[in-house]
């Protein structure tokens, strides 16, 4: 066995990139950062939201997944029809574990169905619009739903089926049949290839839902403090726990985008007093459009982590500024923290000092670091699959090219790929100058400012890098998704899925934090992993360990 030498984080990076062809290494270099401390990182750029290098096995998904699966997936009373080959509908059927309240009395639930036009070769050659008309008609005849949404997959764009024309035509036809039953029908040009990742799909979904549904029925429900929760998708029941806490505090949820949501909620979103944005990456467009159209302000919240939950509740209470609410929120926090503290007192001695890596989506790689911190664990490497630079860097100066409510353009999709159009993260000094000049900016924590010196930040990590990182740095737990799960576990490291939570959850709010502590304790302290032999245990390829 060669002697093992300790590697610094910079050497880890070099060790990984040197295996690439020069051109690939040059590209990955811009997406692979070593944290150099808070001050140095204020001016460091990371490249994000750019095309994956062909040939590399990425973690990413497609634009259709971001639109149909992520944003509209959790809507229970909209019939979501996939216009495409059956695999697209089938493989996006319930895998995300977005849950719904089956006991809700007033809304239909189509979530357990998989609607698809099942396009075949015949439709590719002769066009699939007739099949789509037929599918919409069938869905209407069977369910008489409040709304039908149509989602385009890759072949639809390639052959040129006009999904919007079908939506318009069928809406007119079906609304003429029964004047007592109004059905809203709209379509999404969310072909899988349309963007570099799921992210483009979020944007397309946000624009269409804003155009066709939001503001349609502006009836204000009862409630003194009326909020919308944006970017919370009820994975593993997270939204149920958040709603429990909000209810306890006396805060009324007007509308949810889109965990446990209803069509009616979307339609009345414009009457809320405040928008709370949980996953900024997927829904900031809707928050911006509501701010422009109705002047509803938005704040960033995070209900992942007990401390973050408390902080977010305080932020909401501060916004309303009502003493009664502020006091009630403090009472709820004190009551809920008893169980949180008792669990931590038991678990923390066993988890303190352990290390984690998180490579997930566009917000959880950041949010879940709060839970690890509460457990006394260190996040030694993290990154997003498809987030944009503002999610890494935190501060966002409202871009020059803005998504405006009238044109609903999707230009913002492209600006970050063109450095000339991008507003990089600003230093404190620059922010002061901009503010003095009357610029608007939103400030919220990003992943990089919340990480420590000497950690690794990697955008759009791939399977090769994942394996090498594990080999060198040997984290106690790796957080990612189903594509990585078994490959990582075969290397002897437990993988916690932070997408669908494996079979667990909720992890949001106070009760969710307790669930997470217990789960992570079980995973990082299980002896089973030491029995697994990674390939390098048998045939060592690298002669180094991480200095950590």
The catalytic residue among 62, 279, 356, 387 is 62
Smallest distance, ligand CFM to C-beta of residue 361, A: 2
Neighbours of 200 (CB within 10 A): 25
* Complex with ligand CFM: residue 155 or 231, whichever CB lies closer: 231
Smallest distance, ligand CFM to C-beta of residue 467, A: 21
| SS3 of residue 16 by DSSP | helix
Smallest distance, ligand HCA to C-beta of residue 345, A: 32
Q: Which stretch binds ligand CFM (CB under 6 A): 127-135, 300-308, 358-366, 375-383?
A: 358-366
Q: Which does 28 bind (CB under 5 to 8 A by kind): ligand HCA, ligand CFM, none?
A: none
* Complex with ligand HCA: residue 164 or 483, whichever CB lies closer: 483
CA distance 35 to 13: 12
Cα torsion for 174, 177, 180, 185, to the nearest 10°? 0
Q: In the window 49-68, what residues touch ligand CFM (CB under 6 A)?
A: 66
Residue 281 found at the interface with ligand CFM (CB under 6 A): yes
The catalytic residue among 28, 48, 65, 267 is 65
175 by Cβ neighbours in 10 Å (0-12 / 13-18 / 19+) ranks as middle
Q: In the window 152-211, what residues touch ligand CFM (CB under 6 A)?
A: 198
* Complex with ligand CFM: residue 83 or 364, whichever CB lies closer: 364
Smallest distance, ligand CFM to C-beta of residue 501, A: 9
Give me the long-range contacts of 323-331 (CB less than 8 A, separation at least 24): 325/224, 325/225, 325/249, 325/250, 325/251, 328/249, 328/250, 329/249
User: CA dist 28 to 99, 208, 506, Å?
Assistant: 37, 34, 35
Q: Which does 475 bind (CB under 5 to 8 A by kind): ligand CFM, ligand HCA, none?
A: none
| SS3 of residue 30 by DSSP | coil
Reported in sequence order, the residue ranges of 398-455 that DSSP labels E, i.e. its strands, are 441-442
Smallest distance, ligand CFM to C-beta of residue 384, A: 7
Nearest CA among 322, 328, 299 for reference residue 312: 299
Q: Which does 364 bind (CB under 5 to 8 A by kind): ligand HCA, ligand CFM, none?
A: ligand CFM
Interacting residues toward ligand HCA by CB under 6 A: 61, 65, 69, 95-96, 198, 361, 481-483, 499-500
Residue 363 found at the interface with ligand CFM (CB under 6 A): yes
Residues 6+ apart with CB under 8 A from 23: none
Does 65 participate in catalysis according to the annotation? yes
Residue 426 found at the interface with ligand CFM (CB under 6 A): no
* Complex with ligand CFM: residue 27 or 96, whichever CB lies closer: 96
Half-sphere exposure of 454 (CA within 13 A, CB side): 9
* Complex with ligand HCA: residue 236 or 394, whichever CB lies closer: 236
Does 203 participate in catalysis according to the annotation? no
Nearest-10 crossing angle of helices 22-29, 9-17: 140
Does 167 participate in catalysis according to the annotation? no
Nearest CA among 287, 265, 274, 276 for reference residue 221: 265
Does 96 participate in catalysis according to the annotation? yes
Which residues contact ligand CFM by CB under 6 A? 66, 70, 96, 198, 231, 233, 235, 279, 281-282, 360-364, 499
Residues that are catalytic: 62, 65, 96, 202
């Amino acid at each position: 066995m060669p002697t093992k030498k300790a590697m610094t984080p910079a050497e880890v990076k070099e060790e990984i990139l040197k295996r690439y062809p020069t051109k690939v290494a040059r590209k990955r270099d811009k997406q692979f950062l070593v944290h150099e401390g808070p001050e140095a990182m204020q001016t460091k750029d990371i490249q994000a939201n750019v095309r994956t290098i062909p040939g590399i096995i990425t973690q990413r998904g497609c634009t259709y997944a971001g639109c149909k699966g992520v944003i509209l997936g959790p809507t229970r009373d909209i019939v979501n029809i996939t216009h495409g080959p059956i695999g697209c509908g089938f493989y996006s059927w319930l895998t995300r574990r977005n849950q719904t309240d089956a006991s809700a009395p007033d809304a239909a639930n189509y979530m357990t169905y998989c609607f698809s036009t099942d396009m075949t070769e015949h439709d590719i050659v002769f066009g699939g619009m007739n099949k789509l008309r037929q599918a919409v008609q069938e869905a209407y005849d069977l369910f008489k739903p409040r709304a039908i949404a149509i989602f385009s997959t890759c072949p639809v764009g390639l052959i040129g089926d006009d999904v919007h024309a079908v939506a318009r035509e069928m809406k007119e036809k079906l609304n003429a049949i029964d004047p007592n039953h109004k059905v809203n029908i709209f379509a999404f040009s969310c072909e899988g290839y349309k963007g570099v990742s799921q992210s483009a799909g979020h944007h397309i979904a946000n624009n269409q839902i804003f155009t066709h549904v939001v503001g349609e029925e502006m009836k204000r429900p009862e409630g003194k403090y009326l909020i919308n929760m944006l970017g919370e998708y009820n994975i593993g029941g997270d939204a149920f726990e958040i709603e429990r806490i909000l209810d306890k505090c006396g805060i009324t949820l007007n509308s949810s985008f889109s965990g446990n949501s209803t069509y009616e909620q979307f339609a009345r979103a414009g009457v809320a007093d405040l928008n709370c944005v949980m996953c900024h990456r997927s829904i900031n467009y809707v928050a911006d459009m509501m701010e422009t159209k109705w002047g509803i302000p938005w704040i960033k919240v995070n209900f992942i982590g007990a401390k973050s939950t408390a902080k977010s509740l305080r932020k909401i209470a501060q916004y309303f500024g009502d003493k009664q609410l502020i006091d009630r929120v403090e009472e709820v926090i004190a009551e809920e923290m008893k169980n949180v503290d008792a669990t931590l007192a038991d678990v923390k001695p066993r988890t303190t000092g352990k290390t984690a890596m998180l490579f997930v989506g566009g917000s959880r790689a950041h949010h879940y670091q709060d839970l690890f911190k509460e457990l006394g664990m260190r996040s030694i490497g993290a990154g997003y699959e498809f987030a944009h630079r503002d999610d890494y860097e935190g501060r966002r100066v409202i871009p020059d090219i803005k998504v405006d409510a009238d044109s609903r353009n999707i230009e913002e999709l492209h600006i970050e790929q063109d450095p000339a159009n991008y507003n990089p993260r600003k230093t404190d000094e620059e922010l002061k100058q901009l503010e003095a000049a009357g610029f608007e900016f939103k400030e919220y924590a990003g992943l990089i400012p919340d990480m420590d010196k000497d950690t690794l930040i990697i955008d759009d990590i791939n399977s090769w890098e994942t394996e090498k990182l594990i080999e060198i740095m040997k984290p106690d737990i790796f957080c990612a998704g189903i594509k990585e799960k078994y490959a990582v576990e075969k290397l002897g490291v437990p993988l916690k899925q932070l997408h669908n939570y494996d079979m667990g959850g909720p992890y949001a709010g106070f009760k969710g934090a307790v669930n997470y502590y217990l789960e992570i304790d079980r995973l990082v302290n299980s002896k089973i992993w030491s029995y697994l032999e990674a390939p390098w245990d048998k045939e060592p390829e690298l002669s180094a360990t991480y200095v950590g």
